[in-house]
A and B are shown apart, each in its own frame.
Chain A
Amino acid sequence: MVQRRPRIMRRLPDFIRCVPTDGIELALLPRPKAPVMTLTLLWQGGALTDPTGLGGAAALTAELLAKGTRASDAVTLASRIEALGAELDTWAGRESLGLSLTGPGQVFDRLWPIVREILWTPRFDRREFQKTRLRAIESIRAAKDGDPRSLLPLYADGWIYGTAHPCGHPIMGDERSLAAIPARLLKETWQRHRIGARTLVSVVGDFDPRQVEAELRSLLVDSAPVARRIPPAPVLATAPVPARGILIDRPGASQGYFWIGGLGTDREHVDWVGLELVHAALGGRFNSLINRRLRVERGLTYGAHSGYTLPGFRGLSYLTSYTPTETTGAAIEASLEVLGEAHEKGFPVADLEAARRYLTGQEVFRYETSGQLAHWLRTVLLYGRDVEEWEHYPERLNAVTTSQAKRILNEVFPAPKACQLVVIGDAERLLPRLTGFGEWVRYPIASCGFGPPEGSGIRIR
């Protein structure tokens, strides 16, 4: 069964990719003498498959997976893992549900039985469910009191996709949707992922691939022969956006935190290496156009950057920063200017070249630790990508021309006039500085969830 095959990888760490049985897909990356080993199990699905109004179901399911097995309650299970110096992480992404165990390579023999228990006999205890759910709800409320930077993307999702859309609710859910989730949904969600999707597995560390493969086969012996499937691409709302943006009121905030952007592209329809280059030039590094204009030249902010999400469906493209309330209008204007210049004229050659050299040099730092390699394999497996995409990264990076970079930006980033705005700050003090941008929907940060409350947001022209 085990076949030799010619080595293909020349630059990146080589790994073995195979489908030992129809329900399982493996990527094994042995690194002799590596001190740390990482096992990742992944199932397609995730928050996209949360039932309407029950956002957070996949995330809560993932959390409950770590809360005990038939043999061990939550703390005992944690103790058995932590006693070996290992860490268990379970999570839901927008398109997947996952579990990983990381720890010193020499203890892995003792971790396999624990993985088996989690997969075969998770406890899904009712009391744990209620506790975990309440803690999640209270943590969301607490987060709204804290540093607003981490909240911006949640509000942006709700506004751009719309709260009725499967991507419009946060992966973790919100105060209302979490409260509505019934306990039985978690077991169902787990079964749907575990049996209804291929199990995508990666292992990175110092191990014998034959032994690990055998271990995994016996562990996943019930995996049903299901075909690889791309998660359903959600239908996007086509209704015209009702205003220029949302203003989330946090009375007393001394800065305006802003997000400028809109719908971007999906993984199938873009040269992601070109997209990386475009963002490195626009806002993906210290010397990017946006950070230079806002921070280096004008001292408006501690940081300004651009970003994107690149899922199997249309993701988002954005610029984001923050600055004292008095300069928020000016900073948004300056950001739109930078975007507009790049949209119209493309990137200055020198900036594009500098971005290219930066990405070329930094590439080796992306494949250094077991955790980084495991993360890379997650993308490879989840999207069923050919690893040659990464192997030829430098050539692909060099092949992107100035005009291609401009075209990519035009295609993936809305023009300034079409961009939506999301701002968190002291609304009373911010409004006079924001009215020039268009119509705003304003609502308090303490409102339930992250999207505009239906009917209750105040619209301001």
Chain B
Amino acid sequence: MSQDQCGARAHRADIVPSRKEEPPFIRSVFKGGLETILWPDPGNPRAALYIVYPVGSRLELPEPTGLAHFLEHMMFNGSARFPDDAFDRILEDLGGSNNAYTTEEITVYQDLVPAAAIERALELEADRRRHLLIDPGRVDRERGVILSERHASIDNDPVARFLEEVQSVACAGTSYASPVIGWRDDIERIDSAVLREFYARHYQTGAVTIVGVGGIDPDDWHRMIDAHWSPDAVSPPSRPIECRGPGASFGERRIEATGPLTAPYLVMGFPAPGASDPGARAHELLWTILVGGVASRLFATLVEGKSLALDLDMFRVGNRVSGRQFLGVTVSPRRRIAAVERVIREELARMVDEGPTAVERERALNQRLASHAHHLESVAGRAELLVRAQAIQGDPDSLAEYPARLSAVSREDIRKAAESAFGTGGWTVGALAPDDARSPTAGSS
């Protein structure tokens, strides 16, 4: 391509799904209750295959915590037909990559493959859904992997360790109180027998949703599902099991601690509606107004305006059900946690009283719609949207209606969302301060 020519319009670009009102995807239910959602994108050389099991850490009790996540790891450790690490080897041989994640509520297996390899990926997924070996030797080896994962993601990060405790306090008495990865003692005692039992109970065809996006022909899709995903002979179609979320609680719970860190950390948890609740969209906009972007209320005030904080983050426990929305603040080492908490309380009270401005509502709306557009760009992004709509919201069609529903949210709706989140108690506040050796007066080199 020569450097000095300014050419005419180029044409070759990837196909982008049209954003029609009607859902661009096809839902089907197969024998045994197996459900599939296909979003065909003719000509796309890629395919995303996501297998969703409606089981997460909330269904572990009274078994050891971390079981659902441990099983997710074992799914990569061999079946009779594809032993040991054959799943990964074959999938990579096909030019595919894969991953998986477990939450409190779902376990999702993600395969990104060239579209031509979709049938083989479906076959591999069907095989491990039914014929997993769970060999004791491999369980022990995988335990080492999971313990290393726990050390890396939690144990060696004081904030992550603290958040585990905050979650257990905020969600006490519900099945959302334990960390998805599990407590260390539990990970150490999980064995092949308990894993097998959990697998048999929760990985039934009647519970599975298969999501396909990309260059997949709908007729082919149905033939492939029929060929590889035969229903279980004995099991009844299982229904999703519902758990009570960490909804109502005492007024306010506080947890205070010191730890090996220089920047104090403040976390506040608030009641949040379940994903299918009519107020969920207003709640989404509320938190975007508060924390989404540099101009958001709390970022502009705490980080940009008053230099009280270094950064803000947000996370949520419980999505299907009414859960907890957490706001995390990395406090500037020169500031006091109490000062930051006071400013946040004032801002939240103001939101309950006055609601957002028209500019704030509009900005948050455009930010969320733009984020939605980003997801539509890739097969993986679209698959993830479908997983959320189906497995979290319980209604894939809600995806097509998302822009309209979001746009319909008024300023008063957002104010009401603030009232139910901040005006009715049920808060959890956690404050993690530097231990004596790390406090600013102790000095550092």
Within 8 A of A (CB), among B338-385: 359, 362-363, 366-367, 369-370, 373-374, 376-379, 381
Of the listed stretches B8-16, B20-28, B416-424, chain A binds: B8-16
Contact of A83 among B4, B9, B363 (CB under 8 A): B363
Least distance between B66 CB and chain A CB atoms (Å): 14
User: Any chain A CB within 8 A of the CB of B85?
Assistant: yes
Is B153 in contact with A15, judged by CB distance below 8 angstroms?
Answer: no
**Smallest CB-CB separation from A251: which chain B residue?**
B260
Q: B85 contacts which of A144, A292, A300 (Cβ < 8 Å)?
A: A292
B305 interface hit (Cβ, 8 Å)? yes
Hey, which chain B residues are within 8 Å of A388, CB to CB?
1
Collect the chain B residues with CB atoms within 8 Å of residue A324's CB: 147-148, 151
Q: Which residues of A contact B153 (CB under 8 A)?
A: 147
Q: Give min CB distance, B417 to chain A, whole Å.
A: 20
Of B6, B114, B261, B370, the contact of A103 (CB 8 Å cutoff) = B370
What residues of A have a CB within 8 angstroms of the CB of B117 in the complex?
A: 361
Is A85 on the interface with B (CB-CB < 8 A)? yes
**Residues A18 and B155 in contact, CB atoms below 8 Å apart:** no
B95 touches A357 (CB 8 A): yes
CA–CA, A11 and B21, complex, Å: 32
Q: Which of A25-33, A46-54, A430-438 contacts B (4 or more CB under 8 A)?
A: A25-33
Per a CB cutoff under 8 Å, which of B295, B303, B369, B377 touches A369?
B377
Contacts of B8 in A (CB 8 A): 2-5, 16, 209
Q: How large is the interface on B (under 10, 10 to 19, 20 to 34, 35 or more residues)?
A: 35 or more
Asked, given contacts A104-B373, A138-B263, A285-B92, whether A369 binds B378 with beta carbons under 8 Å apart, the answer is yes
Q: Are A141 and B5 in contact (CB under 8 A)?
A: no
Q: CB within 8 Å of A: which of B7-53?
A: 7-14, 16, 18-19, 45-46
On chain A, the residues within 8 Å of B188 by CB distance are none
Indicate whether A3 sits within 8 Å of B5 (C-beta atoms), given known contacts A34-B16, A85-B367.
yes
Chain A proximity mask over B150-176: 1 for CB below 8 Å, otherwise 0 = 011101111110000000000000000
Do A362 and B13 touch across chains, with their CB atoms under 8 A apart?
Answer: no
Give the bracket for the number of chain A residues in contact with chain B.
35 or more
Q: How far, in whole Å, are A134 and B334 apart by their CA atoms in the complex? A: 10
Report the stretch among A72-80, A114-122, A341-349, A405-413 that lies at the interface: A72-80
Docked complex Cα distance between A292 and B84 (Å): 11
The listed residue with most A CB atoms (<10 A of its CB), out of B10, B19, B85, B333, is B10
3 smallest CB-CB distances across A and B, nearest first, come from A361-B95, A299-B144, A85-B370
A residues sitting closer than 8 Å to B (CB atoms) are 1-5, 7-9, 13-20, 25-26, 28-36, 66, 74-76, 78-79, 82-87, 103-104, 107, 131, 134-135, 138-139, 141-142, 144-149, 208-209, 213, 250, 252-255, 285-287, 292, 295-302, 322-324, 354, 357-362, 364-365, 367-371, 386-388, 446-448, 453
**Told that A255-B152, A300-B144 touch, could you supply 15 new A-B pairs with CB distance under 8 A?**
A5-B2, A16-B10, A17-B3, A32-B13, A35-B374, A36-B370, A79-B363, A142-B330, A254-B155, A287-B88, A358-B95, A358-B96, A361-B113, A364-B45, A369-B374
A sample of 20 cross-chain residue pairs with beta-carbon separation below 8 angstroms, ordered by A number, consists of A4-B7, A17-B2, A19-B3, A32-B11, A36-B374, A76-B295, A78-B300, A79-B359, A82-B367, A83-B363, A86-B370, A135-B310, A142-B263, A146-B159, A213-B6, A300-B144, A302-B152, A358-B96, A447-B445, A448-B445
